[in-house]
A and B are shown apart, each in its own frame.
Chain A
Amino acid sequence: MLNYVLRRFLGILIMLLLLSFVTFVLSRTVPGGPFGKVEVPMGKKQLELFKAKYGLDKPILEQYVTWLGQAVRLDFGVPFTAPEMTVTGLIFKLLPYSALLGFLACVFSLTVGIILGMIAAAHQNSWLDNAIVTYSIVVGSIPAFVLGFVVVYVFAAKLAILPAGGWGGPKYLVLPVFAYGFPAIGGVARWTRQCMVDTISSDYVRTAYAKGLVRSQVMSKHVLRNALIPMVTSFLPMFPGMMTGSMFIEMVFGLPGLGKQFVLSSTNRDYPMVLGITVFWALLLSVTYFITDILYGVIDPRVRITQKSS
């Protein structure tokens, strides 16, 4: 088990190293630079002075090594666009907005999606099942940012019952959470249905009926636990996935979160910030996958044994 944990951590480290290197090189070789968009154009000499100040005049590999040397000490530098803060400080200042948005959107889509999926599975191949499946395909095909504009038009512009965007309290989250979580319902419902249907039609469920169990006992003791295994493994990573994937929604609603910051940092060529957010997101995702795998072993005895022996 310890061996397994160590191997997984090593894997995460190697992944972060590769990812940071690729992001570093790509972001700095993209045309344009941090000093291109100022009101008064700078002279050539002035530009070189600025580049030297931020170390941008050195070869790219040397720059990366310098960055890496600081990064291992958890110093990710200073954002070009907010020199009064550190990259880490800015990330943790903006994180709560994105985390809350992603978390609530996840809870919303999982709640509705799992309920719909279970209803569909319980009435497999009926009109209700067909209706839910069709509905989830349609719902799943709506891009969140398109839905964002629609709900802003209806609830903010026409009905004027909710704010159109920005931040000023919990009610500013209602429309973004809805627009972000609603399209995800489709996938959740279909996967839940699939997991349930697969389990219900399995041989051991037939055995459970054959030994004299009634439907409710079969469902609670045999179907749920088995169906839960593939559900947990795919739904748990949804949380960091949605916490880190909200850039469009944050742009549409002007939410001051990490996603919006990432877009702004990219267009401003704020290299330290782009790199900082990328590494942070990657870390968040890989740690969740790691936790998911551990949990998988807790609910599935077959995995537990193979880990013990490795």
Chain B
Amino acid sequence: MSPLLQVRNLEVAFFTKDGVVRAVNGISYSLEEGDTLGIVGESGCGKSVSCMAMLRLIPEPPGRIMGGQVLFDGIDLVRMKRDDLHTIRGGKIAVIFQDPMASLNPVMNIGEQVAEAITVNLGYSHRQALHRTVELLTRVGIPQAEDRVKDYPHQFSGGMRQRVMIAMAISCQPKLLIADEPTTSLDVTVQAQIVDLVQSLQRELGMAVIWITHDLGVIARLARHVNVMYAGFIIETGPAKDIFKHPHHPYTIGLLGSVPKPDVLGTQTLVYIDGAPPDMLQLAEGCSFYPRCPYHTEQCLKERPDLVSVGDNHGAACWNVAAVQARLAAGPATAGAASGRA
């Protein structure tokens, strides 16, 4: 059986006044039905853009899909006519966005907003859809849902708004749910509730989930497979367990090293990756991580590394995988990252 989603060499660029921003540079991966994929990386690494581009939700212009394929159930979304995309969006692939306040229409009550998805995708009557909306809102944990359908987004808390977004996303039982940093704008306590909610809904509905985040803790909890992105490339990919236990790319090593660990009070040292994120206007000829990499060699500057297998289903795009592992074994604490006082 072919996978639910197959992304092949997807390339996305933005044509801005300052030049061409190469946001996504030929990424490939696939996702089975019901599976969970985590995409990690810092801001601007292309993790959100690559997923929004699949659904063609990036502003065009200035954005443009330069090449590649996105096969969903065997259909190439990149070549699909813009007017036909609505048959996929919402019904087959649904999205939860980062900022639920901005992502909900401020002048439409939330009942209408959820019901709308049901009427356009499942052909329900308005009354049926509203009835179903109350069920959905109750399911995602909104108390007194039958009264609250008439309320507007500004009358909800951040966490409740995100629950509304989730209700909207699962309303048509999609095969794939893209969660685009859905917990970033929420309180820490609420974050955990939202993660739990999505996880239980995934089990219930059997949908596949792509979870985009820069929060490694969330990825560790729910993803089975992880893609680490940097400067528009997937620089490491593999089963979550392997990535967390044996990271191979210096960037992944640095990323994992920079997660603060509970320490004796006052002695906490924050570890960070030296240098600045890459300038996406001028893509390096060689490895994009070169300027920040403590292991870089001559070759890294000249040639861009491809993903090489470093384990079962585990790949890293680095010329010096072996050398990095050797150094890591010698002194694991701060390898791949600089350290400093917080």
Contacts and interface: CB of A to CB of B under 8 A. Distances in A.
Interface of A: 125, 201-204, 206-214, 217, 221-222, 225-226, 229, 299-302, 305
B57 A210 contact: yes
A57 B17 CA distance: 69
Q: Chain A binding site: helix, strand, loop or mixed by DSSP?
A: helix
A305 B155 contact: yes
Classify chain B's interface size: 20 to 34
B236 interface: no
Contact of B94 (A211, A225, A300, A302): A211
B103 A212 contact: no
Interface of B: 55, 57, 59, 61, 83, 86-91, 94-95, 97, 99, 102-109, 116-117, 120-121, 152, 154-155, 165, 168-169, 172
Contacts of B57: 206, 209-210
Contacts of A302: 106-107, 152, 154
Best-surrounded residue of A125, A229, A301 (most CB of chain B within 10 A): A301
B91 A222 contact: no
Contact of B89 (A201, A209, A217): A209
Contacts of A300: 106-107
A300 B95 CA distance: 26
B107 A301 contact: yes
B83 A211 contact: no
Contact of A214 (B86, B94, B154): B86
Contacts of A207: 95, 97, 103-105, 165, 168
B120 A213 contact: yes
A226 B152 CA distance: 14
Contacts of A203: 97, 99, 102-103
B90 A211 contact: yes
Given A203-B99, A212-B89, A221 B116 contact: yes
18 contacts: A125-B61, A202-B102, A207-B95, A208-B116, A211-B89, A211-B117, A211-B169, A212-B87, A214-B83, A217-B120, A221-B108, A221-B116, A229-B107, A299-B107, A301-B109, A301-B152, A302-B106, A302-B107
A120 B117 CA distance: 29
Q: Which 8 A-B pairs have the closest CB atoms?
A: A212-B90, A203-B102, A211-B90, A211-B117, A204-B105, A212-B89, A203-B103, A301-B152
B120 A210 contact: no
